[in-house]
Structure 1
């Protein structure tokens, strides 16, 4: 008898995208699954009502408060009954069956704690977004998606271990949560999945990239590219990530110093020179809040 996958997605003011994602699953996916949609404090109830009425076979949960990426997914976990949890952004599109491929790869090795499919941009399906990820620099706290913006021409079709999963689409075994815990909710937005992967690795698991499964992703449909929200949380959360995941005191201090005295002033001057004045306040606030967080730990 086949096992079951619990697909968890978070909706925030994005019901049209969520409907499109649900329809793509219904068209292409036949592996046993349940779909859990968490409406994460959307501005009004219209989207929540639409999803409940249109898809009676979907578990739709309403949170009156926006709990962020991790908080919304953690709510979904509470309702999940599957053997596997597949965290899938609501702005993704499925064009072929993927669940069985991901499940089989997880089942092939108990040391694999999390797996992500190949991710392309949508609707530019020939352009890659994620084909694995490079390790994180302990100084800059940046890494890259392998293959980003390159042609999906077969060069990235080798399944392999990688440094980080892609938060837009990642699968774990439900039973493994007890070994590395839930996602850290205080990030709210960005770095949660990187933090989670770091804790998986500390628990003895590895992260895997599976190109046999492919997902299309409308990148940053919910927050926008280079938005004040993005600038604030990227700035704040890099400092929090360093505090939580860098165990070497020297590396942690180097990271703090770089973020505070090199990266933040550089971005400040860049935004000033380019006239992006609306990004300066969230940049400064993100730095202050990140420092405050680590000082209180």
Structure 2
């Protein structure tokens, strides 16, 4: 299997200096899984720091055979950057791509369990490793933990993370299993599945795009899995910190866009009526705690979905109210369960 580990970078020179040498050592040459030819590709999204210069001096100019650099003219976002990178002529011959954030520390042998699953299970279109927090290494990391799920109102959660409650990793979620979505921080996807699904929806720019992609993969008959025997450590918020109203805005706007694209119009109308009030309560909570910028981000997310984004979205073909299997999609409300004290995945599903 020919595998490309593709790192999308935007002004992340510090992360590249810290983590790229480890990615190369643990993924290429002797660090690659047996029978797997792996290459590391850094796709630069129009960085204005010293990222490109450092990459050229450290790897490109010395002729490192395991590292390639693609430099874009501007920042196309997470979605546009990866779509352009994986469509590049130098990458079309690969069998699989591993989309990896620049702020991820990998571990020796991290690719072996993922590659083994792809070899053994040809119906698995995407998979992810277990994510732990870089600064609290015994805890799961928010962006994906040990596999992503979603409830029927569109709220995403993980094995090991419900909303802002993150569990300590004690091996309780170490089984390989199907999930609804795999994190974009470290996402292995078959080239065939990527092309058939059409890549990422560029209107999202960033956030929720991997959940939207995985939803399409499910509909096409692919499985999405988590392989906890592969472990990586994620800093999180490398390009956009959790304290940023911009992050809140993108999450709320793109969550609505994802539901609109993947549900029937009638189903979406029902869900949106409920979400309008729930998201309104969230905005009110932000106001009551003095986080006015966050409250405004929620309002702008709803407004811009309806006024700017919706008409340009490509809707997926979907018949009736059918939803993915209850094994990967929670049919209740994770928000209500959370409100009444069920804040661990083991008590949720």
TM-score between the two structures when normalised by the length of structure 1? 0.91
CA displacement, residues 259-289 of structure 1 (integer Å, 9 cap, x when unaligned): 33x1332232122211112223333222111
Aligned-pair CA distance for 1:169: 0.6
Structure 1 contact 128–147 (Cα < 8 Å) conserved: yes
Report what 1:268 is aligned to: 283
Q: Which moved more, 1:203-212 or 1:118-127?
A: 118-127
Report what 1:13 is aligned to: 11
SS, match of residue 128 in structure 1: coil
Superposition RMSD on alpha carbons, in Å? Answer: 1.7
Matched, 1:33 2:38: yes
Residue in structure 2 matching 1:90, options 102, 113, 137:
102
- Aligned counterparts, 1:137-286, within 5 A: 137-139=151-153, 141-148=154-161, 149-247=166-264, 249-260=265-276, 262-286=277-301
Residue in structure 2 matching 1:131, options 146, 152, 170:
146
Q: Residues 154 and 264 (structure 1 numbering): CA distance in 2 closer, same or farther, change over 3 Å?
A: closer
TM-score between the two structures when normalised by the length of structure 2? 0.78
Q: Matched residues in 1 for 2:78 and 2:210: separation?
A: 9
SS, match of residue 110 in structure 1: coil
Q: Matched residues in 2 for 1:211 and 1:269: separation?
A: 38
Aligned-pair CA distance for 1:45: 4.7
Aligned-pair CA distance for 1:113: 0.7
Q: Which moved more, 1:184-193 or 1:75-84?
A: 75-84
Q: Matched residues in 2 for 1:278 and 1:177: separation?
A: 36
CA displacement, residues 160-215 of structure 1 (integer Å, 9 cap, x when unaligned): 11111111111112123332221111100111000000110111001011011111
Structure 1 contact 235–286 (Cα < 8 Å) conserved: yes
Q: Matched residues in 2 for 1:151 and 1:59: separation?
A: 37
Report what 1:65 is aligned to: 74
Structure 1 contact 83–174 (Cα < 8 Å) conserved: yes
Aligned-pair CA distance for 1:296: 5.9
SS, match of residue 157 in structure 2: coil
CA displacement, residues 69-127 of structure 1 (integer Å, 9 cap, x when unaligned): 11111122124242210011111001222222211101111211101011111032211
Q: Matched residues in 2 for 1:36 and 1:166: separation?
A: 19
Count of residue pairs brought into register by the alignment:
290
Structure 1 contact 86–171 (Cα < 8 Å) conserved: yes
Query: Where in structure 1 are there 5+ consecutive unaligned residues?
Result: none
Structure 2 contact 283–296 (Cα < 8 Å) conserved: no
Residue in structure 2 matching 1:49, options 39, 48, 53:
53
Aligned-pair CA distance for 1:151: 2.3
Q: Matched residues in 2 for 1:187 and 1:6: separation?
A: 24
Q: Residues 243 and 69 (structure 1 numbering): CA distance in 2 closer, same or farther, change over 3 Å?
A: same
Q: Matched residues in 2 for 1:283 and 1:172: separation?
A: 31
Q: Matched residues in 1 for 2:293 and 2:195: separation?
A: 42
Q: Matched residues in 1 for 2:49 and 2:12: separation?
A: 12
